[in-house]
């Protein structure tokens, strides 16, 4: 569900497996962001406390059941209202965003929508892929993914912002790996598009670093009435004339042989 890729695995080669992707986990307080982080890192449930600053972990994920792995550097940032102004500093230069919402807390979805759209509209986040994690789907009374998509107005995000809504349960880890794999694919598609745009821009503007290829104009015909010597002088460049200039003979003096 989203405007990302229909076939994410085909784009995995667009990213080097050895490079860690900078991913920022955002969302309102008590949405389950830290639980998501540690479930991905340790593959088990850990009791957590409200994040006052941030938590950071490195995670390796096997892609599509293959031997190839992707490396992520995940930053979990506190979601209290007084900490949200700091989100901008953490998302600057991010490869992707993870926005976690509480599927049970319908009363705060409007607040979550406002914060999600605010961070997605930042100039430095233009075009950055967004993975929306609909957490706590295991609880009774949780909203369906379609209801969450409508409440968050995901269709109103910029067309340049690829997104995917992933239903999940952070306590048991259901849906988290699939969502992160989908985010990896969206990042790969974006980078591929950026490289194509750069190549097209270089073709239009001309890349000074590329060697110039001079066209062969063919043999030069001798003008009628001009001698070979005259034509030879006309067709030479100045540096060729300098190279072919004769050195004047040295006069011999008495006593020299």
CATH of residue 55's domain is 3.40.50.300
Domain that holds residue 56: 14-202
Q: Of the spans 15-19, 167-171, 195-199, which averages the highest pLDDT?
A: 167-171
Binding-site residues from annotation for GTP = 27-34, 79, 135-138
- The tens digit of pLDDT for each residue in 146-155 reads 999 999 999 9
Which of 148, 161, 36 has the alpha carbon at shortest distance from 94? 161
**Residues labelled catalytic:** 80
In a domain, 251, yes or no: no
In this prediction, residue 6 carries a pLDDT of 34
SS (H, E, C) 49-103: CCCCCEEEEEEEEECCCCCCEEEEEEEEECCCHHHHHHHHHHHCCCCEEEEEEEC
How many structural domains are present in the chain? 1
Q: Tell me if 88 is assigned to some domain.
A: yes
Indicate whether 137 belongs to any domain. yes
Residue 141 lies in a domain: yes
pTM: 0.73
Residues that constitute the known binding site for Mg(2+):
34, 51
- CA pair distance 179, 184, nearest whole angstrom: 9
In a domain, 66, yes or no: yes
In a domain, 168, yes or no: yes
Residues in the chain: 257
Q: Which residues are annotated as a binding site?
A: 27-34, 51, 79, 135-138
Question: Is residue 33 in a domain?
Answer: yes
Q: pLDDT by residue (tens digit) across 123-135?
A: 999 999 999 999 9
For residue 214, being part of any structural domain is answered with no
């Amino acid at each position: 569900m989203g405007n990302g890729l229909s076939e994410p695995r085909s784009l995995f080669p667009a990213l080097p497996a050895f490079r860690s992707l900078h991913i920022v986990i955002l969302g309102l307080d008590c949405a389950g962001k830290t639980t998501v982080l540690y479930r991905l890192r340790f593959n088990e449930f850990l009791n957590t406390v409200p994040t006052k600053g941030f938590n950071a972990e490195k995670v390796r994920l096997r892609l599509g059941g293959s031997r190839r792995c992707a490396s992520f550097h995940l930053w979990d940032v506190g979601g209290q209202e007084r900490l949200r102004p700091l989100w901008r500093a953490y998302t600057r230069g991010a490869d992707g965003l993870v926005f976690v919402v509480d599927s049970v807390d319908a009363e705060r979805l409007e607040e979550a929508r406002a914060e999600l759209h605010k961070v997605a509209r930042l100039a430095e986040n233009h075009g950055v892929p967004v993975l929306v994690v609909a957490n706590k789907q295991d609880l009774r009374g949780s909203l369906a993914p379609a209801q969450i998509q409508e409440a968050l107005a995901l269709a109103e995000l910029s067309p340049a912002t690829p997104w995917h809504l992933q239903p999940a349960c952070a306590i048991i880890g259901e849906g988290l790996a699939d969502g992160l794999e989908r985010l990896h694919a969206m990042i790969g598609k974006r980078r591929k598009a950026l490289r194509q745009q750069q190549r097209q821009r270089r073709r239009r503007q001309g890349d000074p670093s590329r060697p110039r290829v001079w066209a062969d104009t063919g043999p030069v015909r001798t003008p009628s009435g001009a001698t070979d010597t005259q034509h030879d002088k006309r067709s030479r460049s100045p540096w060729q004339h300098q190279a072919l200039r004769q050195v004047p003979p040295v006069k011999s003096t008495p006593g020299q042989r």
